[in-house]
Amino acid sequence: MAVKLVTEQTKTLTSGRFSDSLAPPSILTKDTTIGELPAHRYQVGVNTVVAQVEKTLRLYPILPGVIVTQHDRMVNVISRRRFFEILGTRYGVAVFLKRPIEIMIRHVEEPLILPGTCLIDEAVHEALRRETILAYEPILVDFQAHGFQLLDIYTLLLAQSQLFATLQQELQTINVDLEDRVARRTEELTRVNSRLYLEVAERKHAEKHLEVRIRYEQAIAQSADALLAAVDQPEVIPETLQLLLQATGVSRVFLSKNVQIEGRGLCLVLTHQVCSPGAQTIPKDLQVLPHNENKEWLDAIWSGQTLLGNSAMIGGSIKQLLTQLGIQSFLLLPVGKPGDWYGLIGLDETAVTHTWKNDDLQLLQTVARMLYTYIERQRSRDALTQAKNEAIRANQFKTELMAKVNHELRTPLGAIMGYTQLLQMGAYGPVAPEQTDPLELILSSTNALSTLVNSLLDQAQLEKGNLALENRPFSVREMAIEVDSKVRILAEKTGLTFKIIIEPSFPEEIVGDRMRIEQIWTNLLSNAIKFTEQGYVRTHIRLQGTGQWLIEVADTGIGIPEEVQASIFDTFVQVDGSATRNRSGAGLGLSIAASIIELMGGTIDLESILGQGTTFTVILPLNMVDND
Amino acid sequence: MSKPFALIVEDDAMLADIFSRALQAIEYETEIMRDGRVASEWLQKNVPELLVLDLHLPFLTGDDILNQVNVDTRFAATKIMIVTADALRASYLNGNITLTLIKPVDVSQLQKLAHRLKPKPTM
């Protein structure tokens, strides 16, 4: 039976270097299988003489043992150690050496067979699980179709230890990496921590700042509310100063005002002050500061500057003032605008040195602006109220004057009229024929004047709003007779046809202010006569629809230009200047008539064609006598 | 037959004179009083047929005299004629006023009205 050596083994065998052949590959991982480790394929048939095997094993000390086969099938494995043990027994050489190896097989155990895919770890585990005596026996690696190989247990253990070392190294690397990462992380954490710490501190600071800010904003908002809405509320100023006191936490807040004082010139006069508990108020003798004695610092303020400082750092005329008032820190803020400096807001701190913050300044400047707005508004309101009151007084005076003048005019008018009439009547002896006309002229002029006076009184009363209307039953027909008796003479004197037509179905009695209606009607008629040179003046009275009646006065006079028609019912309007001269009248009649008609709930309207005539229509509500 | 008596209470001398002459011309007997107090005293003893009364008077106003006359039954037949420049005030007056004339007064109108107010001659 020939010895069968496989190529890899040949290579291994011929290399002759034990360490090389036994050493596992330098790169081992936990995934390395036993199939990758160096192994040996020394096989002999069952009939091979023991001496032959003994010779080979002695020649190749790296061979872990021999695989015994029969008909190419593995029968058993005899390890090197077991082989020489058996030979070394008493009579071993004599018994076995010249005989086939088959007989030795009976003296060995079954080998541990593991697949080539088995991991080193597992293989070690399996190998060392064997009985102590067998624990170091080689392992038979089963390569399936590629047959078997013998793996020396030392190779396996070496690989295992090498792998372990590698793993440990790896672990160490991982460890180092981990440590590194932990260190980095720790550092990061520390950084984050300190940043957080900083942030917290910052936030705390910000919160405190915010608190102050909120306090200030509230103060601004509250004073804005008060200052921007207030009208005629003097308490809004001390309230605002109180808010400033609370927001800034100083000892004293005050408002001073520029006032011209006789003999002292322009002075800064304290008008309001509020103090925190325990703080002193500004004494009387320091409440008025003449401008010329404090020019040095006041000039700066009246140039629009905010003045602030600590008494320790300041000199000049203000220093004396600060010392007198025991002021440590101060802030003076102008109220007003260039050309109109109302005064100043002052903040004093008497207890400690106050550091004026931007917030202080912002708050104060805002409030100073709002305060000035309030003062300006109040001023213009006062001016407005004064102007209004003056206007009312003037109008009242005018109305009263008018009433008084009316009254005072009536008495002498009465005398003129009375004596003229007495003269006409012959009460002072017979009237010569040539005296009749002048007497008549005196009388008619006086009548005109009397009518004007009546109109003025009506106007005055209309303006006073106390023209009282009467509501009594009266007969329109009776009124017409009265009017006719007064007006007909005038019309016929100028050669006009005059006619009053009352609708036959018109009620006998209606309710209203007969005197006023008669006055208006007479007025319209005498106007018509005045402005008509030829033709007629006609008047109609009739019912208009239900609940109304109308008086129509139509003439064939000069007419009223269209552009004048709209304003003809306004006070003191006449057709034109020339008409005024020829035809007496103050232009009061129509405006009064219109006002009274309106007061009665009626309307007055006109239609006119220039050169052809005018028709006035008065429509009044019809009030019947209540029969119940 | 005696003439009806008219008391003229008017502080303005000229107007009082005119009223007086106008009334005398239509057969009234007249007396002028230019002061409210004097008129009031006179009225305590006398009853005129016609009382011509101004409202603005010294010492005692026309309103006061009007009140005095209104509560006294002796004046039941007395006609009262208010003569005033103050139309507004006249419109607020209460009492037994026969008529109100607003100054300036038309003499012929005064005469016409006063004539109508004369008491009917008793048979």
Of A410, A461, A470, the CB nearest to B104: A410
Contacts of residue A454 in chain B, CB cutoff 8 Å? Answer: 102
Q: What is the pLDDT of residue A14?
A: 37
pLDDT of A599 higher than 90: no
Structure tokens at A1: 């039976």
How far is it, in rounded angstroms, from Cα A534 to Cα B109?
Answer: 30
The 8-class DSSP code of residue A283 comes to P
Q: What does pTM read for this prediction?
A: 0.43
Whether residues B22 and A418 touch (CB distance < 8 A) is answered with: yes
Of A415, A421, A461, the CB nearest to B14: A415
pLDDT of A123 higher than 80: yes
Of A407, A410, A418, the CB nearest to B18: A418
Chain segment A450-468, per-residue pLDDT in tens: 777 777 777 766 766 667 7
How far is it, in rounded angstroms, from Cα A288 to Cα A271?
Answer: 10
The answer to whether residue B103 neighbours chain A at the CB level (below 8 Å) is yes
Contacts of residue B56 in chain A, CB cutoff 8 Å? Answer: 407
Q: Are B94 and B6 in contact (CB under 8 A)?
A: no
Q: What is the pLDDT of residue A392?
A: 86
- From B46's Cα to the closest Cα of chain A, the distance in A is 28
Which of B12, B83, B100, B103 to mutate: most A Cβ within 10 Å? B103
Interval A440-444 mean pLDDT? 85
pLDDT of B9 higher than 70: yes
Of B85, B92, B106, the CB nearest to A417: B106
Lowest mean pLDDT among A138-152, A440-454, A458-472, A527-541: A458-472
Of A411, A457, A461, the CB nearest to B15: A411
Whether residues A418 and B14 touch (CB distance < 8 A) is answered with: yes
Which residue on chain A is closest to B89 by alpha carbon?
Answer: A468
Interval A22-39 mean pLDDT? 80
Which of A421, A428, A445 to mutate: most B Cβ within 10 Å? A421
Q: Mapping DSSP to helix (H, G, I), strand (E, B) and coil, where does residue A627 land?
A: coil
Q: Which of residues 460-479 of A touch B (CB under 8 A)?
A: 461, 466, 468, 470
Contacts of residue B108 in chain A, CB cutoff 8 Å? Answer: 421, 425
A283-288: Cβ within 8 A, 24+ apart: A286/A321, A286/A324, A286/A325, A287/A256, A288/A261, A288/A264
pLDDT of A574 higher than 90: no
Q: Are A592 and A604 in contact (CB under 8 A)?
A: no
How far is it, in rounded angstroms, from Cα A530 to Cα A532?
Answer: 6
pLDDT of A20 higher than 60: no
Mean pLDDT of chain A: 82
Q: Which residue has the higher pLDDT, A101 or A360?
A: A101
pLDDT band, very low/low/confident/very high, at A538 (cuts 50, 70, 90): very high
- Please, which residues bridge with residue B100 across strands? B82
Lowest mean pLDDT among A101-105, A122-126, A574-578, A602-606: A574-578
Chain segment A354-411, per-residue pLDDT in tens: 887 777 787 788 888 888 888 888 888 888 888 888 888 887 887 777 777 777 788 8
- From A449's Cα to the closest Cα of chain B, the distance in A is 10
Of A407, A415, A468, the CB nearest to B18: A415
Closest CA to A311 of A322, A321, A300, A301: A322
Contacts of residue A417 in chain B, CB cutoff 8 Å? Answer: 104-107
Which residue on chain B is closest to A469 by alpha carbon?
Answer: B91
Q: What is the pLDDT of residue A555?
A: 93
How far is it, in rounded angstroms, from Cα A596 to Cα A591?
Answer: 9
pLDDT of A207 higher than 60: yes
The answer to whether residue B90 neighbours chain A at the CB level (below 8 Å) is no
Closest CA to B15 of B68, B45, B53: B53
The answer to whether residue A165 neighbours chain B at the CB level (below 8 Å) is no
Q: Which of residues 50-89 of B touch A (CB under 8 A)?
A: 56, 85-88
pLDDT of A580 higher than 50: no
Interval B65-86 mean pLDDT? 88
Chain segment A42-73, per-residue pLDDT in tens: 999 999 999 999 999 888 888 899 999 998 88
The answer to whether residue A415 neighbours chain B at the CB level (below 8 Å) is yes
Lowest mean pLDDT among A135-144, A264-273, A392-401, A429-438: A392-401
Lowest mean pLDDT among A255-269, A321-335, A466-480, B24-38: A466-480
Whether residues A422 and B22 touch (CB distance < 8 A) is answered with: yes
Structure tokens at A488: 């007909």
Q: What percent of chain A has pLDDT over 90?
A: 18
Q: One-letter amino acid identity for A386?
A: Q
pLDDT of A269 higher than 90: yes
Whether residues B85 and A419 touch (CB distance < 8 A) is answered with: no
Q: What is the pLDDT of residue A259?
A: 92
The number of residues in chain A equals 628
Residue with tokens 């209307």: A469
Q: What is the pLDDT of residue A253?
A: 93
Q: What is the pLDDT of residue A4?
A: 45
Of B25, B85, B92, the CB nearest to A411: B85
Sheet containing strand A548-555, edge to edge, reads: A497-502, A536-544, A548-555, A613-621, A603-609
pLDDT band, very low/low/confident/very high, at A216 (cuts 50, 70, 90): confident
Of B85, B91, B105, the CB nearest to A468: B91
Chain segment B12-45, per-residue pLDDT in tens: 889 999 999 999 999 999 999 998 899 999 999 9
Evaluate the omega torsion of the peptide bond into residue A234 and state whether it is cis, within 30 degrees of 0. no
Q: Which residues contact A71 (CB under 8 A, 6 or more apart)?
A: none
Contacts of residue A419 in chain B, CB cutoff 8 Å? Answer: 14, 18
Q: What is the pLDDT of residue B122?
A: 57
Q: What is the pLDDT of residue A565?
A: 80
Which residue on chain A is closest to B103 by alpha carbon?
Answer: A410
